[in-house]
Amino acid sequence: MIDLSEPRRQSPLAIVLLGLRAVRSLGVVQIGVALLFIVRGAADGRLVLVGFVVIAGFTGVSVLSWWRYTFRLVDGELLVTKGVLRNDRLTVGVGRIQSIAIEQELLHRLTGLVKVVIDTAGSAQSEFTIDAVERPVAEELLRRATEIGAARPTMGASDTATSEAAAATTERIVFQHTPHRLAVAALTMSPWAGLALLVPLVAVADQVLEPFGEELSDVAPDVDVNGLGWWLAPVVAVSAVVFVTILNLGRVFLSDWQLTLRTDDDTLRRTSGLLSLTSTTSSVDRVQVLTSRQNLLQRRAGLQDVQLSNAGAGDMRLIGCSDDEFATTATLAGLAHAGELALDRRVHPAEIWLRVRNTLVLAAAVAAVASLLVGWWALASLAVAMPVWWAIRRHVRNHRWSLGSEFATSSRVISSSTRQAVLRKTNAVRVTQTIFERRRGLASVQMVTAAGTVTVGMLPIEEANAVRDVILHGVEIDRRAWM
Amino acid sequence: MAEPFSNEPIDVEHLPELHADAFVRVDPRYVWGNLTGLAATTVVVVGVAAVIVVTSGNAVAPSVVAGGLVVGLAVVAVVLVLESRRLAYQLREHDVSLRSGVIRHRVETIPFSRIQHVSVGRGLIEQWLGLATLEVSSAGPDISVPGLSVADADRIKQVVAERAGVADEPGDGPDLGLDRATTDEPDDARRLPPPPWPAP
DSSP string, B161-176: HHHHT--SS-------
Average of per-residue pLDDT across A311-328: 89
Q: Is the dihedral of CA A73, A77, A83, A86 positive or negative?
A: negative
Residue B193 to residue A349, Cβ atoms within 8 A:
no
**Chain A, nearest residue to B95 by Cα:** A472
**Which carries the bigger pLDDT value, residue A353 or residue B10?**
A353
Query: What 3-state DSSP class applies to B123?
Result: coil
A69 vs A93: CA distance, rounded Å: 18
**Chain B, nearest residue to A347 by Cα:** B195
Lowest mean pLDDT among A107-121, A266-280, A294-308: A107-121
Q: Which residues in A lie closer than 8 A to residue B4 (C-beta atoms)?
A: none
| Best CA proximity match to B103, nearest among B122, B71, B80, B73 | B80
Residues 6 or more apart in contact with residue A115 via CB below 8 angstroms: A17, A102, A103, A104, A105, A108, A129, A130, A131, A132, A133
The per-residue pLDDT for B185 is 38
Local confidence band at A160 (pLDDT 50, 70, 90 cut-offs): very low
The per-residue pLDDT for B8 is 59
Look at chain B and count its residues. Answer: 200
Q: Which residues in A lie closer than 8 A to residue B14 (C-beta atoms)?
A: none
The per-residue pLDDT for A40 is 65
Residue A450 to residue B108, Cβ atoms within 8 A:
no
Q: Which residues in B lie closer than 8 A to residue A403 (C-beta atoms)?
A: 192
The per-residue pLDDT for B169 is 40
Q: Which residues in B lie closer than 8 A to residue A460 (C-beta atoms)?
A: 193, 196
Minimal Cβ distance to A478: which of B2, B7, B191: B7
For residues A66 and A11, the answer to whether their CB atoms sit within 8 Å is no
Beta strands in A340-461 (DSSP E): 345-346, 400-403, 406-412, 416-422, 428-433, 442-449, 452-460
Instruction: Confirm or reject contact between B114 and chain A (CB < 8 A).
Output: yes
pLDDT(A158) > 50: no
Question: What single letter denotes the amino acid at residue A466?
Answer: A
Residue B5 to residue A479, Cβ atoms within 8 A:
yes
Average of per-residue pLDDT across A384-393: 90
| Best CA proximity match to A116, nearest among A94, A131, A98, A97 | A131
Q: Which residues in A lie closer than 8 A to residue B190 (C-beta atoms)?
A: 466, 469
**Chain A, nearest residue to B139 by Cα:** A450
pLDDT(B93) > 70: yes
A250 vs A102: CA distance, rounded Å: 23
Lowest mean pLDDT among A203-217, A453-467, B55-69: A203-217
Give the residue from A286, A430, A434, A467 with the most B CB atoms within 10 Å of its CB, the best one to mutate: A430
Beta strands in A17-96 (DSSP E): 70-74, 77-82, 88-93
Instruction: Confirm or reject contact between B189 and chain A (CB < 8 A).
Output: no
Angle formed at CA A204 by CA A203 and CA A209, multiple of 5 degrees: 135
Question: What single letter denotes the amino acid at residue A460?
Answer: P
The per-residue pLDDT for A478 is 86
Minimal Cβ distance to B199: which of A344, A463, A479: A344
Local confidence band at A204 (pLDDT 50, 70, 90 cut-offs): low
Residue A469 to residue B15, Cβ atoms within 8 A:
yes
pLDDT(A122) > 70: no
Contacts of B147-156 with C-beta under 8 Å, sequence gap 24+, read: B147/B26, B147/B27, B147/B29, B147/B30, B147/B31, B147/B33, B147/B84, B147/B87, B148/B26, B148/B27, B149/B27, B150/B120, B150/B122, B152/B27, B153/B120, B154/B120, B156/B89, B156/B91
Q: Which residues in A lie closer than 8 A to residue B136 (C-beta atoms)?
A: none
Q: CB-based burial of residue A211 (10 Å sphere; 0-12 exposed, 13-18 middle, 19+ buried)?
A: exposed
Alpha-helix runs per DSSP H in A98-192:
106-111, 135-151, 163-168, 179-188
Question: What single letter denotes the amino acid at residue A38?
Answer: I
Residues 6 or more apart in contact with residue A416 via CB below 8 angstroms: A293, A294, A299, A398, A410
The C-alpha of B182 sits at a distance from chain A's nearest C-alpha, in angstroms, of 12
Name the pTM for this structure: 0.73
- pLDDT one-digit tens code per residue, A404-416: 889 999 998 889 9
Residues 6 or more apart in contact with residue A338 via CB below 8 angstroms: A292, A326, A330, A410, A418
Minimal Cβ distance to A465: which of B18, B94, B110: B18
Q: Give the DSSP letter of residue B65.
A: H
Give the residue from B110, B114, B116, B190 with the most A CB atoms within 10 Å of its CB, the best one to mutate: B114
Q: Which residues of B169-182 are buried (b: 16+ CB within 10 A; e: fewer)?
A: eeeebeeeebeebb
- Which value does ipTM take for this structure? 0.77
Tell me the CA distances in angstroms from A356 to A352, A364, A385, A393, A399, one per residue in order: 6, 12, 6, 10, 17
Phi/psi of residue A124, nearest 5 degrees? -75, -20
The C-alpha of A137 sits at a distance from chain B's nearest C-alpha, in angstroms, of 30
User: pLDDT exceeding 90 applies to what percent of chain B?
Assistant: 40
Tell me the CA distances in angstroms from A271 to A314, A350, B170, one per residue in order: 12, 45, 45
Residue A475 to residue B17, Cβ atoms within 8 A:
no
Tell me the CA distances in angstroms from A172 to A135, A331, A346, A451, one per residue in order: 20, 15, 39, 26
Residues 6 or more apart in contact with residue A442 via CB below 8 angstroms: A348, A350, A433, A436, A457, A458, A459, A460, A461, A464
Q: Which residues in B lie closer than 8 A to residue A96 (C-beta atoms)?
A: none
Minimal Cβ distance to A448: which of B94, B141, B190: B141
Q: Which residues in A lie closer than 8 A to residue B114 (C-beta atoms)?
A: 426-428, 475, 482
Please count the other Cβ atoms lying within 10 Å of the Cβ belonging to residue A145: 24
**Chain B, nearest residue to A404 by Cα:** B9
Residue B109 to residue A428, Cβ atoms within 8 A:
yes
Instruction: Confirm or reject contact between B12 and chain A (CB < 8 A).
Output: yes
Please count the other Cβ atoms lying within 10 Å of the Cβ belonging to residue A118: 25
Torsion angle in degrees (nearest 10) through CA of A205, A206, A210, A216: 70
Q: Is the dihedral of CA A441, A474, B174, B122 positive or negative?
A: negative
Question: What single letter denotes the amino acid at residue A435?
Answer: I
Residue A476 to residue B2, Cβ atoms within 8 A:
no
- pLDDT one-digit tens code per residue, A359-374: 999 999 998 888 888 8
- pLDDT one-digit tens code per residue, A232-262: 778 888 888 888 889 889 989 989 999 999 9
Residues 6 or more apart in contact with residue B136 via CB below 8 angstroms: B96, B110, B115, B117, B118, B142, B143, B144, B145, B160
The C-alpha of B141 sits at a distance from chain A's nearest C-alpha, in angstroms, of 7
The per-residue pLDDT for A163 is 36
Minimal Cβ distance to A428: which of B110, B193, B196: B110
Average of per-residue pLDDT across B111-127: 90
Query: What 3-state DSSP class applies to A262?
Result: strand
B146 vs B26: CA distance, rounded Å: 7
Instruction: Confirm or reject contact between B155 and chain A (CB < 8 A).
Output: no
